[in-house]
């Protein structure tokens, strides 16, 4: 199938599939005319790429994950799992804080030990590495 059909099937823009091709993530075959030819296997790979992007993986990480034998694959997955677990812990703390705030009887949150305790212990916002970062982040 042509790139437009593959893009439609996975709900992506054609330029995204071209970019993933250029980055070596999903590289379709080429017809004699030079056009990209996607198979059902490519569509499955595209869906896996979308799932990986959905959990915050960079294209460099995804290239490692797609192929079981790739060097560094386990490390990339473990790093992503650590980030997800840390994010889950931060979200759980934030949820407990907000649940407390709903019922907090203090007129100002700064007068409540529980509220200020959360604020003092809250981690600094964590930003994902930008383009060209050492961990392979590509910002896209």
Do residues 58 and 22 make contact, with C-beta atoms less than 8 angstroms apart? no
CATH code, domain carrying 43:
1.10.1660.10
Residues 62 and 104 in one domain: yes
pLDDT digits (tens, 9 = 90+) for 86-140: 999 999 988 988 888 888 888 777 778 877 777 777 666 555 554 444 344 444 3
Residues 65 and 119 in one domain: yes
Residues 70 and 113 in one domain: yes
Which pair of tokens denotes residue 9? 């099937």
Q: What is the DSSP letter of 111?
A: G
64: domain range?
Answer: 58-140
Predicted TM-score of the model (pTM): 0.67
Q: What is the number of structural domains in the chain?
A: 2
Residues 72 and 123 in one domain: yes
- Please give the span between the terminal C-alpha atoms of the chain, in angstroms, as a whole number: 25
Q: Indicate the length of the chain as a whole number.
A: 140
Residues 28 and 68 in one domain: no
pLDDT digits (tens, 9 = 90+) for 29-78: 999 999 999 999 999 999 999 999 998 899 989 988 888 888 888 998 99
pLDDT digits (tens, 9 = 90+) for 11-28: 999 999 999 999 999 999
Residue 68 has what pLDDT? 84
Instruction: Look at residues 11, 36, 54 and tell me which one is the last residue of a structural domain.
Output: 54
Residues 63 and 40 in one domain: no
Residues 105 and 135 in one domain: yes
3-state SS record for 22-58: HCCCCCCEECCCCCEECCHHHHHHHHHHHHHHHCCCC
Which pair of tokens denotes residue 91? 């979200």
């Amino acid at each position: 199938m042509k790139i437009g059909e593959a893009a439609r099937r996975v709900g992506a823009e054609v330029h995204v599939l071209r970019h993933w091709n250029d980055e070596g993530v999903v590289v379709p075959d080429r017809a004699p005319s030079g056009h990209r030819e996607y198979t059902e296997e490519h569509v499955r790979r595209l869906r896996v790429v979308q799932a990986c992007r959905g959990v915050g993986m960079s294209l460099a990480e995804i290239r490692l994950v797609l192929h079981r034998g790739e060097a560094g694959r386990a490390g990339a997955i473990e790093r992503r799992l650590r980030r997800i677990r840390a994010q889950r812990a931060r979200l759980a703390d934030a949820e407990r804080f907000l649940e407390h705030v709903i019922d907090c009887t203090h007129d100002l949150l700064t007068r409540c030990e529980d509220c200020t305790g959360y604020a003092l212990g809250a981690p600094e916002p964590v930003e994902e590495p930008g383009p060209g970062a050492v961990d392979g982040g590509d910002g896209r």
